[in-house]
Chains A and B, each alone.
Chain A
Amino acid sequence: MYSSELVKGTLKTIILKLLSESDKMYGYEITQKVKDLTGGKIQLTEGALYPTLHAMEAQGILTTDVVNVGNRIRKYYSVTQTGKKVATEKVNEFSDFIDTMIFLLDLKPKMG
């Protein structure tokens, strides 16, 4: 598992990328998906996830939908049009960042 400092800087990018690839997701689903995709290497904490989701909703990047699930209410998050643009920007920025880090730290990318 990576340190929370490392995950914190990329949390927004991860959430936006996941949400722009699917129609809509709820909080628990997001944490599980990240866990599955990374083989448990990245585990989003709830304490970081929800504040970020709410902030992005306030910024108009995300929008929410409320659905009744059995005896409780579930909030689904999805990206807005602006959010899609932000997602692309964030992913590009991060990709560029990785290239720079590889160069800076003199890392050899693992091939295959």
Chain B
Amino acid sequence: MYVLKDEHISFILEDIRRNGIESEELQLDLLDHICCVIETEMLPDKNFDEFYRSIIPRFYKRELKEIQEETQLLLTFKNYYAMKKVMIMSGAFSAFTFIIGSLLKIMHWPGASLLLLTGIVFFCFLFLPILSILKVKEQKQSKDKLLIGIATIFAIAICLATLFKVMHWPFASMLWSSSLGILFFLFLPIYFFGGIRNPETKTNTIISSILILTAGGLLFILTNLRASHVTEEAVFNSDDQLRASYAYLSEQKSSDSLSENQQLLIKKADALCLKIENLKVGLIKSITPDGKEMAENEAIRLFSNKFDPVQSYLFAENGQASTELASIKKELAELQKLVQENTADKECSLISTENIHRSDYKNQTLSWEEFYFKGLPMENVFRNFNQLLVNIRIVVVSNN
């Protein structure tokens, strides 16, 4: 048996590395294997270099690197099939839930949110990442790998932004704008300038870039989709009219010969109206920058469609009405009781604070504050406060 020296072993290992075997595990396997072959098959009087060169070709057809490539192929293939299977299944599942979910959504039927949420989550966090990984593996140039990575981030971001918008979750618009930013300022330049340099891909790159730009532009148009100006103005005008009605009713002079109860009613109504007006002022201050005061109609025009600041002013984090709103509700109930006890209006439903059952939508029963103020944008909240003020005045005026 030939005894290998340390320098022989170092030489063999170095040769294996030089011939493209990068995996350390494979290096160890091959080193031991070659050593075994030499130790058992080489006669002691033979020349090491010559013998080594004669046995090495057994290990490959063209070059030694083949073993490494074959190993990598087998390793990735095992995952490749599993990943492809998961990708197709998750893709089919999310497409199905997405189609059904969006159908339920446009019909305003229950279950829409859950299906949309499931569909988009599966699409964004299973289908798209696996697709991206498989596509990246297929690409040889790092530029193409980078492009696929950016495209995946864009796709995930725009899907999530759509989900957030549909669910009325916070930061939806920010997510939407950032994903379009990724498309226009990151993906498109890299794609366009990368592809245009190569004469073979030049035409396709230009056409695809125009398509991407157009599609992105169409999405960008939807960024701040609102009602037309005419409709918005009409809403603001009817708000103005409501405020005018309230002002008119507030200025009605009561006759001098009022009973004690009627005077008490007026006093209570005045106090309550003042409270509501103060709350509106506080709300506007909480929205405006630096907390400055602003005329109500101006504020509504400026901050219409605002949800979050209005909601956090009216409701505590646990979803209960804020102290101010709760005290308004309490006083409103007292006022209603006073009217019922002392006047002919035994129902006094105009200023009722009872729970409201909505048979038209999800068959829910909502509390007074939830029905009139929860989850609504600025303009609707103010509209409902103004309607309430008018109702209070109507009840008082009609009972004098």
List residues of chain A with CB under 8 Å of any chain B CB.
26-29, 31, 45-48, 50-55, 58-59, 66, 69-75
C-beta contact mask, B20-38 vs A, less than 8 Å → 1, else 0? Answer: 0001011011111101110
C-beta contact mask, B40-78 vs A, less than 8 Å → 1, else 0? Answer: 000000000000000000111100001100110111001
Q: Known interface pairs A45-B58, A55-B71, A55-B75. Does A50 touch B66 (Cβ–Cβ under 8 Å)?
A: no
Chain B residue nearest in CB terms to A53: B29
Q: Give every chain A residue within 8 A of B59 (Cβ-Cβ).
A: 45-47
Identify B67's interface contact among A29, A46, A72, CB under 8 A.
A46
State A71–B6 Cα separation when bound (angstroms).
7
Q: Give every chain A residue within 8 A of B6 (Cβ-Cβ).
A: 71
State A59–B75 Cα separation when bound (angstroms).
9
| A50 & B67 in contact (Cβ 8 Å cutoff) | yes
List residues of chain B with CB under 8 Å of any chain A CB.
4, 6, 9, 23, 25-26, 28-33, 35-37, 58-61, 66-67, 70-71, 73-75, 78
Q: Give every chain B residue within 8 A of A45 (Cβ-Cβ).
A: 58-59
| A72 & B31 in contact (Cβ 8 Å cutoff) | yes
Q: Give every chain B residue within 8 A of A29 (Cβ-Cβ).
A: 36
State A66–B24 Cα separation when bound (angstroms).
13
How many contacts A-B (CB < 8 Å)? 70
Chain B residue nearest in CB terms to A74: B32
Q: Known interface pairs A58-B78, A71-B6. Does A46 touch B33 (Cβ–Cβ under 8 Å)?
A: yes
| A59 & B78 in contact (Cβ 8 Å cutoff) | yes
B contacts with A: majority SS: helix
10 A-B Cβ contacts within 8 A?
Answer: A26-B36, A27-B29, A28-B33, A29-B36, A46-B33, A51-B70, A54-B74, A66-B28, A72-B35, A73-B31
State A28–B158 Cα separation when bound (angstroms).
55
| A47 & B61 in contact (Cβ 8 Å cutoff) | yes
| B9 & A47 in contact (Cβ 8 Å cutoff) | no
State A58–B25 Cα separation when bound (angstroms).
12
Q: Give every chain B residue within 8 A of A69 (Cβ-Cβ).
A: 32
CB-based closest 10 A-B pairs: A28-B36, A55-B74, A51-B70, A51-B71, A46-B59, A74-B32, A54-B71, A28-B33, A51-B74, A27-B33
| B32 & A58 in contact (Cβ 8 Å cutoff) | no
Chain A nearest CB from B104 CB (Å) reads 43
| B32 & A51 in contact (Cβ 8 Å cutoff) | no
| A51 & B33 in contact (Cβ 8 Å cutoff) | no
Most chain B CB within a 10 A radius of its CB, from A26, A69, A71, A73: A71
State A72–B59 Cα separation when bound (angstroms).
20
State A112–B59 Cα separation when bound (angstroms).
37
Q: Give every chain A residue within 8 A of B66 (Cβ-Cβ).
A: 47
Q: Known interface pairs A55-B75, A58-B75. Does A26 touch B32 (Cβ–Cβ under 8 Å)?
A: yes
Q: Known interface pairs A46-B58, A46-B67, A47-B66. Does A75 touch B29 (Cβ–Cβ under 8 Å)?
A: yes
Q: Known interface pairs A28-B37, A71-B4, A74-B32. Does A50 touch B9 (Cβ–Cβ under 8 Å)?
A: no
Q: Give every chain B residue within 8 A of A59 (Cβ-Cβ).
A: 78
| B32 & A54 in contact (Cβ 8 Å cutoff) | no
Q: Give every chain B residue within 8 A of A66 (Cβ-Cβ).
A: 28
| A72 & B71 in contact (Cβ 8 Å cutoff) | no
Q: Give every chain B residue within 8 A of A51 (Cβ-Cβ).
A: 67, 70-71, 73-74
| A54 & B26 in contact (Cβ 8 Å cutoff) | yes
State A55–B9 Cα separation when bound (angstroms).
26
| B9 & A72 in contact (Cβ 8 Å cutoff) | yes
